[in-house]
């Protein structure tokens, strides 16, 4: 049963206390700033940035697309490579290496990629920046210490021995038990085109004399080694050896069938999507796959695939960088929800609702392999990727639509019902929700040799489970509903010993604790329950002296909360979590609100440079450039409403 949410639209609350009044005024300025960022079509879409590996891979991709002739790049390619190289160099650390998040330590994969890209761009080996980078790489174990994807990419140009790279066979598309769909959504969109490329065994040219010999540590084996323990790793390494034999001596007919199946899978997902997976790595690999499959450079499919990839580039004359993807649905949903909760700038909500409603996905995607009888619905993170609506975005859109009214009320109501049913159907057996699929938990797949990107699976997590419970609650589902009860039980079971919750898609325990507490509150959990009290006490215990909250990406490496400098997004998450847990008057909350008030800019915005978004824990982090604005707006609005009783 869906309540009539249109009768509960938020409105500004008039209160008398000084801090609450100041918070209300700050919320008004914040909402006005966010409103100015809305695009004419009704959506919001901020820049999304990451580390230097994107620009490094861009240079590698240019080598694939436009190899130098007699050592000389085409002038247009030369200009792009130079811009990318300068973008990389601006982020070099004092010790010579490159990190994967601001203020983080040098990281081997980012450093090896940067060295390759900079050397290819023409930076001399005796340049002091290259000398320091090479020394740092060697101190971290040399090129052999890089992960599988770095080695596989380099092997395409014979810069790392192919026999020492893990096999990625196209036969994965033929395996029974839907093995391909037991991988995470993003992994299968990477694996399939890369398997096609791998099967062709390309040996792409590099400039004469170009190599990476100086990065090799002679004391370290270049290959994977069996260990003495019996386990999945040894089994998969043995299978990898068998696969290498198969590639040399196996059935060519089976290989042709596998490549054809993989090709058809990829081509189907290039349709109804802004590039394969609508994210950087598979978009790049799909162009490579089309090349080895024999698609001409002017073939419409290849032209469009490359155009979608190039659209990720930001080159405005002053800045040059590559975005990992676009985030319009995510940004629009959170911005609209924050504005709706504030009660200010509500004229933006109608266009936002209409824009979101138009992008409901009505065709079946990969999720339907496990839920074939569920009516399609949901939203993707991107402008378009009909094959992969995700649960987190769908829940966030449903929260936004509980605040925003589109032009066609009846169409919106039926959309709500479809989306709710879709969310309920995607609940996993353990009671939680994951990002794209249900029950994506074949843990042993994490041990395959090419799974060292730490994202082979899409397990359920507290942050998404909490947001889904919040969305269900906003549409009238209570603890009487079995799915809500199971979601609450999941969150209680997955609370950490210190009282926090793990956050998979935001950094890290502050994010998870915020949305777990909000989900519990939306489900009607009593704020006197021990798990709620423990969550709130944990948030109060980790507050910084300046009144804000901050957490380093190193929390994922340490598998425990690691404090960091205060950020506005993480401060907002902590305040939202505390208020959801029943605390809206402690000194912790007051100091957090004061921190946001004191740091707000005159135009209503905040400034934030640290990454607080998570792509792959321990591997890839994101800076969502609107997190610093719409989450503080939500926190200020929640505080104002709490003070009003």
Residue for token pair 């994967």:
100
> Is 636 in contact with 23 (CB distance < 8 Å)?
yes
Token representation of residue 538: 């944990």
Residue by residue, DSSP assigns 331-343 as HHHHHHHHHHHHT
CA atoms of 608 and 236, how far apart (whole Å) = 43
| CA neighbor of 538 nearest in space, from 498, 593, 590 | 498
> Is 578 in contact with 539 (CB distance < 8 Å)?
yes
Query: Residue 276, Cα to own-chain centre: how many angstroms?
Result: 15
Query: Residue 432, Cα to own-chain centre: how many angstroms?
Result: 19
Question: Alpha carbon of 117 to those of 211, 314, 354, 405, 584: distances in Å?
Answer: 12, 19, 44, 49, 51
Token representation of residue 277: 């997976």
Dihedral pair phi/psi, residue 585, rounded to 5°: -135, 0
- Classify 127 as helix, strand or coil: coil
> Is 615 in contact with 594 (CB distance < 8 Å)?
no
Count of H-run helices and E-run strands, the chain: 23, 7
> Is 89 in contact with 129 (CB distance < 8 Å)?
yes
> Is 121 in contact with 59 (CB distance < 8 Å)?
yes
Q: Is 546 a catalytic site residue?
A: no
Cα pseudo-dihedral 252, 255, 257, 259, rounded to 10? -140
Q: How many CB atoms lie within 10 A of CB 310?
A: 13
CA atoms of 216 and 605, how far apart (whole Å) = 47
Residue by residue, DSSP assigns 517-532 as HHHHHHTT--TTSHHH
- 272 dihedral zone (left: phi>0; alpha: psi -120 to 50; beta): left
Which of the following is catalytic: 240, 392, 393, 458? Answer: 392
Helix, strand, coil % in the chain, rounded to nearest 5: 55, 5, 40
Question: Alpha carbon of 217 to those of 98, 138, 144, 278: distances in Å?
Answer: 19, 7, 7, 37
CA atoms of 388 and 384, how far apart (whole Å) = 9
CA atoms of 433 and 440, how far apart (whole Å) = 10
Which residues are part of the catalytic machinery? 392
């Amino acid at each position: 049963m869906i309540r009539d949410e249109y009768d509960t639209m938020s409105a500004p609350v008039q209160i008398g206390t000084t801090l609450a009044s100041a918070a209300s005024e700050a919320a008004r300025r914040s909402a006005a700033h966010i409103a100015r960022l809305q695009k004419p079509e009704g959506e919001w879409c901020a820049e999304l940035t990451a580390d230097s590996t994107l620009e490094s891979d861009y240079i590698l991709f240019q080598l694939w697309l436009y190899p130098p002739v007699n050592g000389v790049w085409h002038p247009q390619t030369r200009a792009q490579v130079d811009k990318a190289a300068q973008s990389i160099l601006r982020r070099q650390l004092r010790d010579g290496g490159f990190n994967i998040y601001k203020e983080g330590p040098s990281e081997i994969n980012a450093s090896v990629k940067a060295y390759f890209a900079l050397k290819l761009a023409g930076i001399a080996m005796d340049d002091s920046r290259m000398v320091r980078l090479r020394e740092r790489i060697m101190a971290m174990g040399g090129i052999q210490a890089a992960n599988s994807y770095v080695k596989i990419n380099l092997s395409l140009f014979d810069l790392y021995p192919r026999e020492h790279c893990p096999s990625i066979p196209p036969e994965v598309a033929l395996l029974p038990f839907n093995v391909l769909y037991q991988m995470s959504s993003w992994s299968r969109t990477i694996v399939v085109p890369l398997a096609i490329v791998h099967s062709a065994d390309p040996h792409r040219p590099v400039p004469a004399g170009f190599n990476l010999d100086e990065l090799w540590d002679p004391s370290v084996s270049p290959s994977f080694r069996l260990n003495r323990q019996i386990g999945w790793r040894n089994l998969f390494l043995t299978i990898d050896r068998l696969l290498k034999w198969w590639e040399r001596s196996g059935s060519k007919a089976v290989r042709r069938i596998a490549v054809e199946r993989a090709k058809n899978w990829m081509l189907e997902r290039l349709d109804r999507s802004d590039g394969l997976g609508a994210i950087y790595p598979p978009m790049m690999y799909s162009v490579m796959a089309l090349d080895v499959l024999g698609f001409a450079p002017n073939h419409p499919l290849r032209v469009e695939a490359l155009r979608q990839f190039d659209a990720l580039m930001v080159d405005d004359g002053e800045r040059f960088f590559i975005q990992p993807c676009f985030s319009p649905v995510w940004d629009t949903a959170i911005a609209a929800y924050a504005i709706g909760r504030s009660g200010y700038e509500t004229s933006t909500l109608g266009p936002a609702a209409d824009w979101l409603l138009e992008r409901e996905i009505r065709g079946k995607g990969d999720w339907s392999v496990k839920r074939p009888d569920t009516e399609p619905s949901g939203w993707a993170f991107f402008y378009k990727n009909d094959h992969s609506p995700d649960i987190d975005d769908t829940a966030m859109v449903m929260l936004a639509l509980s605040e925003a009214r589109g032009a066609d009320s009846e169409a919106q109501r039926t959309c709500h019902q479809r989306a709710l049913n879709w969310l309920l159907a995607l609940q996993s057996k353990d009671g939680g929700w994951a990002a794209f699929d249900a029950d994506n938990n074949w843990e042993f797949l994490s041990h395959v040799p090419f799974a060292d990107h730490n994202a082979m699976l899409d397990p359920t997590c507290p942050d998404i489970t909490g947001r889904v419970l919040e969305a269900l609650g906003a549409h009238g589902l209570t603890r009487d509903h079995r799915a809500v009860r199971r979601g609450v039980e999941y969150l209680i079971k997955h609370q950490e010993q210190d009282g926090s919750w793990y956050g998979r898609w935001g950094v890290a325990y502050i994010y998870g604790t915020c949305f777990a507490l909000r989900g519990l509150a939306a489900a009607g959990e009593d704020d006197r329950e021990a798990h709620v009290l423990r969550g709130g006490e944990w948030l109060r215990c980790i507050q910084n002296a300046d009144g804000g909250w901050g957490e380093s990406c190193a929390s994922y490496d340490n598998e425990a909360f690691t404090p960091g400098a205060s950020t506005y997004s993480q401060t907002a998450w902590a305040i939202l979590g505390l208020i959801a847990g029943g605390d809206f008057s402690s000194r912790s909350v007051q100091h957090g609100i004061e921190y946001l008030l004191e740091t707000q800019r005159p135009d209503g915005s905040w400034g934030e440079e640290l990454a607080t978004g998570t792509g792959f824990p321990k591997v890839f982090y994101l800076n969502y450039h609107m997190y610093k604005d719409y989450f503080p707006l939500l926190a200020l609005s929640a505080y104002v409403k709490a003070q009003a009783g």
